Structure 1
Amino acid sequence: MSLKTNRRMFLRGAAGFTLALPFLPSLFGHEKAAHAAGGPKRFVALATPHGGVWAPRMYPNEATLTQSASYAGHDVRRGALSLEVESGVASLSPVLSGDATRLTSTLVQKMNVLRGLDVTFYLAHHRGGHLGNYADNDGNGTDGQSVQSKPRQTIDQILAWSSKFYPSLSSIRERSIVIGGNGMSHGWSNPGNQTGEIQRITPENDSLALFNKIFVPPADPGQTRPAIVDRVLEDYKRLRDGSRRLSAKDKQRLDDHMDRVSELERKLNVSASCGDIQVPGSSSIDEWDSSFSVDPEAQKRFWQLMNDVIVAAFACDTSRIVTMNVGDHFSNFVGDWHQDVAHQANVSAAQHEYIFEGNRRFFEDVYLDLVSKLDALEDPSGGSVLDHSLVQWTQESGCVTHDPLEMAVVTAGSADGWFTTGNYCDYRNLQKSAAKADGNNLVDSHCGLIYNQWLGNVLQAMGLDPAEYETDGYGGYGLVQLSTEGWYGGYNKYGAAELGVMSEILPFLKA
């Protein structure tokens, strides 16, 4: 008798939903059905603070970079990802390591590790830079302050309101799921019309509340609900168009309100159901107590509960976009992490050890947990849900905290065959030094290609055309501004060679 794992079996067994059946990866087997292009695509962005991981611990061995090509005026390099396994631990690098039963060669062939993507100006501490809204930063330095007045919607919100990404909303309860801390997603106050002000999307930190947003029991078939918009439409028109005293800003507020009401009504009319799924018995916020900030095991449980809701939402097709801003450090360090650890990581091997171990734990406990569960879930159009997805992990900085240079991008999934996978790509220009190891610094870094190019690649992979998101005469996505900070490692390092290729797909990645 064969055991087929379908969506309902997963939902009844996912950890956090019910104790009746635990999540059992072995039931799914190691062989996945052949991937058939054409199913719905999904996008997940996970982000962690600071960065600051030394390159030899973050990236695979440079000896694996056996292929090179000339691009944007310098040589870029590529190698194949390969695992080393010892004592049950599989590793692509010291950070990218985990249980060998989950970090398998099959999964690794669905991953990419990218190095050498930069922001052209000094951004320091930020949230919006992960997804293209560089205005959401803490205002450190002249560069950061100058871009705070130039907000843009983040790429997840571009996708959330794109008819190309969502050709049908018939099953979609949440266009995008925004999770964690203060979030990192920004969109128009009137997203339906793409007008108004750019606003922060309020995140959800309660996995049970998130579950209840996504899984609402179908309405009684005999019940009729008067249209919410119809109830207020005449009053809205009378006020908006009939009052001479109404300012342009107040008219925009009215339009924004009606747009939100219309979207609420659309959600209420979604009739998708995932069968007899049970409501979770606990929530992520149950993990919050006085020791949570220094308890990596509690942090692990918190984020894995979020992962379970994400996987279930994808399985039921009630959402296809997730952003997760993970502010926890996965460390038992007691003290000022920002000053005593993050700012010391490039000058102290002892303090770097905390950075290293925290990122290693995040990779195994959160990122690997999510992508392995997505890869274990069968997609109706063939292959796994992961095969039709792109799941990216980015850090706030590169190998030096504050500097958005040599930013690491770790991905899993090919976005329905759009990307090649199994690659370690190094886009640095080794002739353009940024940070230099000396008596006051333990880390070397170099400038490379521009991070905006990667964001444009993501949008193209999800089905959008460059003309739908490129602005200011530049390719890629996000503000392009050259640094005015003469001490910044990226100062005067980007010219026509790097700026001129930003509409293109990054080398080695297009299938």
Structure 2
Amino acid sequence: MKPLSRRSVLQAGAGLALAGPRVARAQSSGAPKRLLLISHCHGWNAETWKLRPDGATDSDPFQLDLTTLPEADWSAGLAPLYRHRQHLVALDGLTLLTAESDGGGNRHDRGFIHAWTGNWADFSGSDSRSTSASIDQLVAAAIARPDRLPSLELSVDGPGEVGRPVSYAASGARLPVANTPEAAWTRLFGLSSSPDPLVLRQQDAIAAAVNELDILGARLGAHGQARLNSEARHLTGLSTRIAGLADLSCPIVPERVATPSAFDDRFDAMSDLIAAAFACDLTRVISLSLGELPTADFGGETIADDVHKGIAHGVFDDPAKGTAMANYLTTHTAQVARLVDLLAATPDPAGGSLLDHTLVVWGSELGNSWHGYQHYLPVLIGGSWAFQTGRYHHWPHTTPAPVTVHPSIHPDGEVPLGGLPHQKMLVSVAQAMGLSVDHVGIPHFQSRSGNLIDASGTLNGLT
């Protein structure tokens, strides 16, 4: 396989763009659908993110057509995505209500679990766990190729971090991440680029183990046999994936590079690998966890050298810190826009571009960096086969579930009404990816005020 540079991919994509989206979609009806989760930390600065048409208030439901909204009217936080406006579905009016109602742990860990699994957190052990699989794993179980990676978990870490949690197995355990481009490259292309003579022997060993399990299973009762059959299926699947990855032939392989020191460069290196993994159909589901940015990357170095405690917690108490965290988010928006550039410019082997057949779900573990859950503002990018894109949706907060807020928002430190349960977004994503489900995680729950809240169903107006 010949390595292909980012510049080559972008230049190839320039010609693709000239063909027009209708031609691309007509050529690619059989292309696989793909899911990319992106999770940044510390939530949003709602005031510099949200869009409000003239005269509209937070109490008014509305939709905006982003394809016709002048660039001058875009918020500072969303502005870097203006060039991709026709692919966006911006969601304004959700709250991490179940995280607010859950107990135990810290609000970051609780938020990560609820944001991506929609279910309760388990803090009874030494490590935080979920009580069900995350949305990426639900989708992977439904759409993965048996001879490829079911999913790929990546992270771009801040100083001292080792992958903030995004993906959870059905058992509730956090899935390990590849947190350097070198590790991700090896997982994707290592077997095919440097064939290992031990691979065949490993497959023989797996086949022998499966045979032994079959023999042993015949001597056991129904319960024991069922457990052994499960193990046999797992080993057979592993053997199939090893064979598939070893025999891979792919025209788009990024160069294997040493891990850059700068966060931006590591983000771009991971973006290259994401595009290549999708183009080669190595996996159809990827999660990308973004750790804390260095303060110098968003102009916060004059305030503190630590984002979390030095800046993030003080957004409501110090205007300079509020501005810094707004810049923090805008820096991430610019990074996400570059990744979408690459997906839009990379040809899909089935026709069109990767973006034509990819749904990007960008969210966070918090509503804001003060640890609030009130304004949860995720963005969907792509997924035009399921959603009417180029839209900004706002729903007023009318759910009778109290939400903790900073005293500057309400002197009681709490507001009585929250937004829509974010699980409805997860259900919308699951259905877009072909799952027949009416809830993801918790279907209904009791708020702190005693009201029964329905968290099932999809968000209205997306299709």
Q: Same fold (TM over 0.5)?
A: yes
Q: Unpaired runs of 5+ in structure 2? A: 156-162
Q: 1:260 to 1:233 in 2, by over 3 A?
A: closer
CA–CA separation in structure 2 for the residues paired with 1:373 and 1:112: 19
- Call closer, same or farther: CA 1:137–1:103 in 2, change over 3 Å: farther
- SS in structure 1 at match of 2:192: coil
1:239 Cα offset (Å): 6.1
Alignment of 1:455 onto 2:445: no
Amino acid at match of 2:330: R
Partner of 1:178: 153
Equivalent-residue separation in structure 2 for 1:177 and 1:329 (angstroms): 22
Is 1:465–2:405 an aligned residue pair? Answer: no
CA 1:63 to 1:260, structure 2 compared with 1: closer, same or farther past 3 Å? farther
Q: How many residues align?
A: 423
Contact residue 316 and residue 406 of structure 2 kept, 8 A: no
| CA separation of 1:150 and 1:437: change in aligned 2, threshold 3 A | closer
Deviations 1:267-324 (A, max 9, x none): 122133114x55624133x42xxxxxxxxxx111111101100001111111111111
Whole-angstrom distance in 1 between the partners of 2:410 and 2:315: 9
Q: Which residue does 1:387 correspond to in 2?
A: 356
State the partner residue of 2:160: none
1:406-436 deviation line (CA, Å, top 9, x unaligned): 2011111025x11111111012236978577
Q: Structure 1 residues 444, 23: CA separation in 2 closer, same or farther (over 3 Å shift)?
A: farther
User: Structure 1: any 5+ residue segments left out of the alignment?
Assistant: 1-7, 16-20, 69-73, 140-144, 189-196, 288-297, 485-490
Which residue identity lines up with residue 309 of structure 1 in the other structure? Answer: L
Secondary structure in 2 matching 1:161: helix
2:210 is equivalent to residue 230 of structure 1: no
Structure 1 residues 64 and 264: CA distance shift in structure 2, 3 A: farther
The alpha-carbon deviation at position 211 of structure 1 amounts to: 1.9
Distance 1:397 1:382 in 2: 37
Q: Secondary structure at the match of 1:269?
A: helix
Residue 283 (str. 1) matches residue 258 (str. 2):
yes
Distance in 1 separating the partners of 2:440 and 2:136: 15
Give the structure 2 partner of residue 364 of structure 1.
334
**1:267 alignment partner in structure 2:** 241
Task: Give the C-alpha shift of residue 344 in structure 1.
Answer: 1.2
Mapped pair 1:199 → 2:173? yes
Matched, 1:426 2:406: no
Q: Tell me which of 447, 454, 457 is aligned to 1:499.
A: 454
Task: Check whether the contact 1:283–1:305 (CA below 8 A) recurs between aligned residues.
Answer: no
The correspondence for 2:280, drawn from 316, 329, 333, is 316
| Aligned-residue offset at 1:55 | 2.0
Change (3 A) 1:40 1:452: same
Please say if 1:60 is aligned against 2:51.
Answer: yes
Aligned to 2:63: 78
Asked if structure 2 preserves the Cα contact closer than 8 Å seen for 1:43 and 1:322, the reply is yes
Partner secondary structure for residue 125 of structure 1: helix
Q: Is the contact between residue 453 and residue 477 of structure 1 (CA under 8 Å) also seen in structure 2?
A: no
Match of 2:159 in 1: none
The residue that corresponds to 2:192 in the other structure is 217
Per the alignment, do residues 278 and 343 of structure 1 end up closer, same or farther by CA in structure 2, a change over 3 Å counting?
closer
Identical columns (%): 22
State which drifts further: 233-242 or 423-432.
233-242
Query: SS at 2:339's partner residue?
Result: helix
8 Å contact 2:40–2:291 — kept in the other structure?
yes
Aligned in 2, Cα 1:330/1:376: closer, same or farther, shift over 3 Å? farther
* Corresponding position of 2:76: 94
RMSD of aligned alpha carbons: 3.8
**How far 1:137 moved relative to its partner?**
7.5
Whole-angstrom distance in 2 between the partners of 1:444 and 1:31: 52
Q: Residues 31 and 382 of structure 1: is their aligned pair in 2 closer, same or farther, counting only changes over 3 Å?
A: same
Q: In 1, are the aligned partners of 2:210 and 2:236 still within 8 Å (CA)?
A: no
Residue 397 of structure 1 and its aligned partner are, at CA, apart by 1.6
Are 2:306 and 1:306 aligned?
A: no
- 2-structure distance, mates of 1:64, 1:412: 27
Cα distance 1:83–1:375, how it changes in 2: closer, same or farther (>3 A)?
A: farther
Question: C-alpha separation between the residues in 1 aligned to 2:180 and 2:55?
Answer: 42
Would the aligned equivalents of 2:254 and 2:273 in 1 still touch at CA under 8 Å? no
Distance 2:114 2:406 in 1: 26
| 1:315 to 1:439, Cα distance in 2 relative to 1, 3 A | closer
